Structure 1
Amino acid sequence: MQTLYLSRLQHYLFCPRQFALIELECAWEENVYTAEGQVMHGKVNSGGHDTRGNIKSVRTLPLGHKSLALEGVADVVEYRTDEHGVQIPYPIEYKRGKPKSHRADEVQLCAQALCLEDMHNCKVTEGALFYGKTRRRHAVTFDEELRALTLEAINDCRYIIESGITPKPIYSTSKCRNCSLKEVCHPKIFNKNAKAWLSNQITANLNEVRQVNNNDD
């Protein structure tokens, strides 16, 4: 089974076509938003660890899940010692901007929790998303609904990978406007019916030919 990287789940939930362009066609373009994200992660992902009280924080922690064939890196994992002396992982993912209306960030964080559960043979019930604009943590509970959504996203990603088919675009002003791959994706063009688009192109070419002939006359 081919490895699926945790960060790709966020791309899939945001836009299945974006996921496929990155995963299948190795497409990638930078813009101001991706650059801001890299700068933010560069500050966080310095490696190393520190301990404060009963919390040990580990940065840039490699993650994996054998049966799900997941791999990735957690920005920060806090190991919190409970009343029984057991260290419980608490993943924290850093994101630019502010909380989203969709659950893509939550799914990526939940997938990290699944990896930590597989690695440590424990139950991870909660984590947090830290957004650069609000400058605060937003707690995320890994309930059954979010776990089911995460597993569904993993399966959907696997289907795209195994089929090798890039989904057709669904144009959305709010999403497509800020997407770094919009010049690769061409959502407005490919969102149209192919037959209708071809017919319009032929008509436009014929009109150009008629215009040239009229000018020659």
Structure 2
Amino acid sequence: MEAESVGAVVGKNLERLRRRAQMTQHEAARLFARRGAPLSRSKIAAIEAGERTHLTFADVLVIAHTYNVEVAELFDGHGPVAIAEHVVLSRPVIRGLLRGTNVPEGSVSWDPQTHQAELLRIADVRAEGDAVTVGKFRLADADHALAQRLNVAPQIVVDIALQIWGNTLTEERDARVSRFGALDRGERHAHRGHITRELSQEIEAELAKQGQITQHEEEIDEQE
């Protein structure tokens, strides 16, 4: 599924909100004006059509304020969103960020003294000595392979993996393999393959649940 621009996503939701209120674009323009934001009918039409691909955060705030909704509602729906040139996030992740709920599972109980450092993985960054190489490491082989198989952006796979385990798919796989201790090459390879398949199925199921991909019935039966 191809990522949409912020402008396209917000535009579709602006149209949804306007239609839900049973308003014409002219009436919507008057509503914006009453809230101190003089958006013309033509500009509203352009936003709804996805022609304003580079909406500012201020624009998004104005729309949310005018329709009296939380900002997260302007990212309603499913599918990836290109929020920057090289950054793609799923809509659930964006909504979680806007609502302040997008944190790794179980992190609420972490020590307050180290909570922020653990969330940002500061130790990893410092150990590498280069944040760029850390970023490349996070999008490692298993994540890329699954993203290619599912025909989605690698960042989408990483986002879902972080939601589920707090690790990328590659990191989680390697962590679980390491629990087996010393293994010969053949055993390690077999465990890596088996664990990768299991973890990939979890990610695929979550992506299907969020509507970002379509699972085939036989795949669902296998997981059950």
Same fold (TM over 0.5): no
More strand by share: 1
Return the index of the structure with the highest Cα Rg.
1
Greater helix content? 2
TM-score, L = length of structure 2: 0.28
